[in-house]
Amino acid sequence: MKKVAVLGSTGSIGTQTLEVIRKNADKLQVVSLVAFSREDKLIEQVAEFAPDYYALISQKGPNCLIEAVKDADIAVVATKGITALNCVIYCLENGIDVALANKETLVCGGELVMSKVGKGKLYTIDSEHCAISQCIQSREGANVDKILLTASGGPFWNCSVEELSNVTPKQALAHPNWNMGSKITIDSATMFNKTLEVLEAHWLFGIPLDKIQVVVHRQSIVHSMVSFTDGSVMAQLAEPNMCLPIQIALLGNGGDQIIDKIDFSQMLKLTFEPSDGTKFPCVNLAYEVFDMYPLAPTVMNGANDVCVQQFLQGKLAFDKFYPTIMQVVRHFEEQLKTVPVTVENIIKFDQEAQKLTNSILNGVV
125-183 pLDDT, tens digit per residue, is 999 999 999 999 988 888 999 999 999 999 999 999 999 999 999 999 987 777 778 89
Question: Do 135 and 278 share a domain, yes or no?
Answer: yes
What pLDDT was estimated at residue 156? 93
pLDDT in tens, 301-357: 999 999 999 999 999 999 999 999 999 999 999 999 999 999 999 999 999 999 999
Mean pLDDT of 64-86: 96
**What is the pTM (predicted TM-score) of this model?**
0.95
Overall domain count for the chain: 3
Question: Do 207 and 238 share a domain, yes or no?
Answer: yes
pLDDT in tens, 261-306: 999 888 789 999 999 999 999 999 999 999 999 999 999 999 999 9
| Cα–Cα distance for residue pair 342/294, rounded to 1 Å | 10
320 exposed, middle or buried (CB, 10 Å; 0-12, 13-18, 19+)? middle
Which CATH number characterizes residue 330's domain?
A: 1.10.1740.10
Percent share of the chain, pLDDT over 90:
91
Beta partners for residue 133, in sequence order: none
| Cα–Cα distance for residue pair 7/41, rounded to 1 Å | 14
Question: Do 252 and 296 share a domain, yes or no?
Answer: no
Beta partners for residue 120, in sequence order: 117
Question: Do 213 and 143 share a domain, yes or no?
Answer: yes
How far, in whole angstroms, is CA 335 from its chain's centroid? 28
Percent share of the chain, pLDDT over 70:
100
Domain that holds residue 309: 291-365
Pick the last residue of a domain from 80, 105, 125.
125
What pLDDT was estimated at residue 271? 96
Pick the last residue of a domain from 247, 263, 283.
283
| Cα–Cα distance for residue pair 22/255, rounded to 1 Å | 13
SS (HEC) of the chain: CEEEEEECCCCHHHHHHHHHHHHCCCCEEEEEEEECCCHHHHHHHHHHHCCCEEEEHHHHCCHHHHHHHCCCCEEEECCCCCCCHHHHHHHHHCCCEEEECCHHHHHHHHHHHHHHECCECEEECCHHHHHHHHHHHHCCCCCEEEEEEEECCHHHCCCCHHHHCCCCHHHHCCCCCCCCCHHHHHHHHHCHHHHHHHHHHHHHHCCCHHHEEEEECCCCCEEEEEEECCCCEEEEECCCCCHHHHHHHHHHHHCCCCCCCCCCCCCCCCCCEECCCCCCHHHHHHHHHCCCCCCHHHHHHHHHHHHHHHHHCCCCCHHHHHHHHHHHHHHCCCCCCCCCCCHHHHHHHHHHHHHHHHHHHCCCC
Question: Do 269 and 300 share a domain, yes or no?
Answer: no
Question: Do 135 and 274 share a domain, yes or no?
Answer: yes
What pLDDT was estimated at residue 303? 98
pLDDT in tens, 205-224: 999 999 999 999 999 999 99
Pick the last residue of a domain from 240, 261, 283.
283
Residue 40 in this model has a pLDDT that exceeds 90 = yes
Beta partners for residue 235, in sequence order: 225
What pLDDT was estimated at residue 365? 67
* pLDDT level of residue 112 (50, 70, 90 thresholds): very high
What pLDDT was estimated at residue 148? 98
Calculate the average pLDDT of the chain.
95
Q: Are 161 and 250 in contact (CB under 8 A)?
A: no
What pLDDT was estimated at residue 223? 97
Of the candidates 156, 177, 146, which has an alpha carbon nearest to the alpha carbon of residue 242? 177
pLDDT in tens, 47-67: 999 999 999 999 999 999 999
| Cα–Cα distance for residue pair 179/176, rounded to 1 Å | 9
Q: Are 110 and 88 in contact (CB under 8 A)?
A: no
Question: Do 56 and 32 share a domain, yes or no?
Answer: yes
Question: Do 131 and 238 share a domain, yes or no?
Answer: yes
Question: Do 88 and 178 share a domain, yes or no?
Answer: no
Residue 255 in this model has a pLDDT that exceeds 90 = no
Question: Do 138 and 268 share a domain, yes or no?
Answer: yes
> Which positions ≥6 away from 159 have C-beta within 8 Å?
167, 279
Which CATH number characterizes residue 111's domain?
A: 3.40.50.720
Question: Do 245 and 264 share a domain, yes or no?
Answer: yes
Question: Do 144 and 241 share a domain, yes or no?
Answer: yes
